[in-house]
Amino acid sequence: MKHVAITISLIFLCLIAGALRSIGQTAIFPKGSKAPASNFTGTVWFAPLVSNDSTFNCTIGTVTFEPGSRSNWHRHPSGQILLITDGTGYTQERGRPIRVIRKGDVVKCSPNVEHWHGASKENAMTHIAVNPNTEKGLVEWLQPVTDNEYKAAYNQSKQ
């Protein structure tokens, strides 16, 4: 009985240590505040990391999409670079097949190309968004990605 108790205690200690380690390692930046429902579907978090100024002409933020959530369709006048730091998601340019994006991927969103990005259906996705050349403008928000459009993206991801 003594050995069983020790074994169970050790398993719990390992689980707690693993959980603490996991919390410490995944959170590079704070999740921030909820992104506005007018531009996003589902629960999305945004934390600004670098605000705009006339020296760098560059803003940077981190965006966390909970499973199933996504941005509206939108365009960046000067383009945007996404660095996927966690999870799995989708991105799609208007009229083109979706691309599954995963931790470690880098995406260049070309200037003025209509597109959206978000989490996969099953997993959250976090990316750093870099907006260079902000003197040309940041973003033009368009209509939401409908449930049917998102479902089509999900189905494509499974092919």
Chain residues that interact with a copy of itself, rule: CB under 8 A: 3-4, 6-7, 10-11, 14, 17-18, 21-22, 25-30, 49-50, 55-58, 60, 78-79, 81, 83, 85-86, 103-104, 106, 108, 110-111, 128, 130, 132-133
- List the end-to-end C-alpha distance of the chain, in Å, as a whole number: 52
For the bound state, the minimum distance from the C-beta of residue 47 to a copy of itself, rounded and expressed in Å, comes to 10
| Residue with smaller CB distance to a copy of itself, 17 or 37 | 17
**What are the Cα distances from residue 13, in Å, to 4, 9, 10, 116?**
14, 6, 5, 43
For the bound state, the minimum distance from the C-beta of residue 94 to a copy of itself, rounded and expressed in Å, comes to 19
The rounded distance, in Å, linking the Cα atoms of 90 and 67 is: 11
The rounded distance, in Å, linking the Cα atoms of 62 and 45 is: 8
| Residue with smaller CB distance to a copy of itself, 133 or 156 | 133
Helical (H) or strand (E) element with 111: none
For the bound state, the minimum distance from the C-beta of residue 111 to a copy of itself, rounded and expressed in Å, comes to 7
Q: Could you give the count of Cα atoms lying within 13 Å of 92 in the half-sphere of its Cβ?
A: 23
For the bound state, the minimum distance from the C-beta of residue 83 to a copy of itself, rounded and expressed in Å, comes to 7
